[in-house]
Chain A
Amino acid sequence: MTLEILSYGFMQRAIISGIAIAILCSVVGLFMVLRRYSLFGDAIAHSSFGGIAVGMLVGIYPLWTAYAVSLVSALIITRIRYRLKISGDASVAVLLSSGIAIGLVLISISGGFTIDIFSFLFGSILLVSTNDTILILVLTGIILVVILLLYRQLLYSTFNEEQAKVSGIPVEKINYLIVFLAGVVVVTSIQLVGILLISALFVIPNITAIMYGKGFKQTALLSIGFAVFSVVVGILASYVLDITPSGTIVLVSLAIFGISIGIKSLGKLPITKSLKH
């Protein structure tokens, strides 16, 4: 049965794209979670809703306008945050609500909700085209290379901004970069789990991995493992059970998280303080 499913072209594209997106969300999400930007992914995803509405209204492929609107708003909100010293959660709230508000108004102007809008809200990984798959793979490659090249700067400024600054790292530029990368990853991932569930892929595999990993690289690899497992099992299970892939993927990752908490409370894991904070 499984092998037969894997012979379908749409399933191959879904799994390949899903694995690439899982890797991206884990790696970029780990930096975001450790910077206490966990909900920033959610906020960018919601602002992309406005971008999608713009695309639908003017007749451009909605994902392109989603990239443009999300990235611009993420960078603007980061700038405002620096200038006005607004707290992280408040800036997330501004970005999140403004994206949805703009999107709702534009969608009502363009004639209301359509099937296309729902596919962006809840994901449509089984409908990913060959071109989409190629785009996802290229973006994955570029983002991973950027992260590998700037690994020390990203890690150091995530660990402690002041010490990173004293070591000559351009912390503000690195902060803009990570927000920019998160924006690209979020919009790319919309096809997998949709706007409403994107932050789950950013956060859940990472907080699960933090419970186990001693070092950063080990934690990142564990997170990738959990995310890839969730995506592959989620896609296959959703097809077999005829249920939505996005929700199934998130539920699988939640199950891994729940099992980890259970194991931890049974004392089979080294005690970590991660969940107490």
Chain B
Amino acid sequence: MYLKAIEINDLTVEYPEVKALDKVSFSINQGDFLGIIGPNGAGKSTLFSCMLGILTKYKGTIRFFGEDIRKSRNYLKLIGYVPQKPVFENNFPATVKEIVRMQLTNNSDRQLIDKVLQQVWMHELGNRRIGDLSIGQQQRVFIAKALVHNPKILILDEPVTGVDIQSSEIFYSILRDLNEKQNITIIWSSHDMDAVHKLANKVACLNRTLFFHGISAEFFENEDLVKQYSEASMQQHMHSHEIH
């Protein structure tokens, strides 16, 4: 059994005016709960775009369970993805169950859909139109959609942006269960350092380059490291604003 779920080596992405990622290297073990933190413009979404095969113009390598993702897109079957705020027409006529069913390649299995909706506490709203739900409820539906094909890795890009505190807590509790009870590897980007501290066993601090990668406690319990990272982030943040 290959234990390394993901290996990233010297990942570099250059846009015409800026280097979005510069020689980023780290690996993730199966069962890890990795929190990726970084300010706006740190390259978190670019990193995910590369991992998900949306962005293909990059240098370096990305391997999922040992396989280079440039060679085959089969690895996508192993991934569940929850975007920051899915863009869709608010009046899109699809029920919660229809949204979840989109992820299934073979014919829909009603029990499977009911099961994942139950996991995210949304089974009672299965026949509601997606646009009629709150943002927090919608994000839980998108977790259910990401889980229905039984992925080994769940990637979440700042999933609680715009979600109220109570819904965020429910969301975090669902993520914890998925990681601890089902051994799903979770990669989650967030601005919320406290939440990352509480949930993730590993942390990666990204700011175009990788500032730190390792055990979460080692980072958060080292005040100097947190301070250095915060200052570097602030400088980067101000620099980004100057560019824009």
A: residues with CB less than 8 A from B are 34, 36, 152, 155-156, 159-160, 162-163, 165-168, 209-210, 213-219, 272-274, 277
Contact = CB atoms under 8 A, between A and B. Distances in A.
A140 B83 CA distance: 37
Nearest to A157: B102
Contact of B86 (A155, A163, A217, A277): A163
Contacts of B89: 34, 36, 277
Interface in B43-68: 52-54
Contact of B77 (A156, A163, A168, A215): A168
Contact of A214 (B90, B99, B127): B127
Contact of B102 (A159, A162, A168, A218): A159
Nearest to B77: A168
Q: Which DSSP category, helix, strand, loop or mixed, fits chain A's interface?
A: helix
B234 interface: no
B87 A216 contact: no
A155 B86 CA distance: 15
Nearest to B107: A152
B54 A168 contact: no
A160 B98 CA distance: 13
A152 B92 contact: no
Please classify how large the interface on chain B is, using the bins under 10, 10 to 19, 20 to 34, 35 or more: 20 to 34
A166 B76 CA distance: 7
Interface of B: 52-54, 73, 76-77, 79, 81, 83, 86-95, 97-99, 101-105, 127-129, 131
Contact of B79 (A152, A155, A166, A210): A166
18 contacts: A155-B102, A159-B88, A159-B92, A160-B88, A162-B87, A165-B54, A166-B76, A166-B81, A167-B76, A214-B95, A214-B129, A215-B93, A215-B129, A216-B94, A273-B90, A274-B91, A277-B90, A277-B91
A156 B81 CA distance: 14
B81 A163 contact: yes
Nearest to B155: A166
B103 A167 contact: yes
B88 A218 contact: no
A215 B91 contact: no
B128 A214 contact: yes
B106 to A, nearest CB: 10
B76 A210 contact: no
Q: Give the 8 A-B CB pairs with smallest separation, nearest first.
A: A274-B91, A219-B93, A215-B95, A156-B102, A213-B93, A166-B52, A168-B76, A216-B94
Given A160-B87, A166-B79, A168-B73, 8 more contacts: A34-B89, A155-B98, A160-B88, A162-B83, A165-B54, A214-B93, A215-B94, A273-B90
Nearest to A220: B93
A96 to B, nearest CB: 23
A159 B91 contact: no
B24 to A, nearest CB: 20
B54 A162 contact: yes
Given A163-B81, A167-B103, A273 B53 contact: no
A211 to B, nearest CB: 9
B166 to A, nearest CB: 24
B93 A166 contact: no
Contacts of B77: 168
A24 B237 CA distance: 52
A166 B53 contact: yes
B115 to A, nearest CB: 19
Contact of B99 (A159, A167, A213, A219): A159
A272 B127 contact: no
Nearest to B79: A166
A160 B86 contact: yes
Best-buried of A159, A210, A277 by chain B (most CB within 10 Å):
A159
Contacts of A168: 73, 76-77
A155 B139 CA distance: 19
A61 B159 CA distance: 56
A167 B99 CA distance: 13
A152 B98 contact: no
B95 to A, nearest CB: 4
A215 B98 contact: yes
Contacts of A210: 91, 93
A274 B89 CA distance: 9
Given A162-B54, A166-B76, A168-B73, A272 B91 contact: yes
Given A210-B91, A273-B90, A274-B91, A163 B98 contact: no
Nearest to A33: B89
A34 B92 contact: yes
B53 A152 contact: no
A163 B90 contact: no
B45 to A, nearest CB: 11
Q: Which of B87, B90, B92, B93 has the most CB of A within 10 A?
A: B93
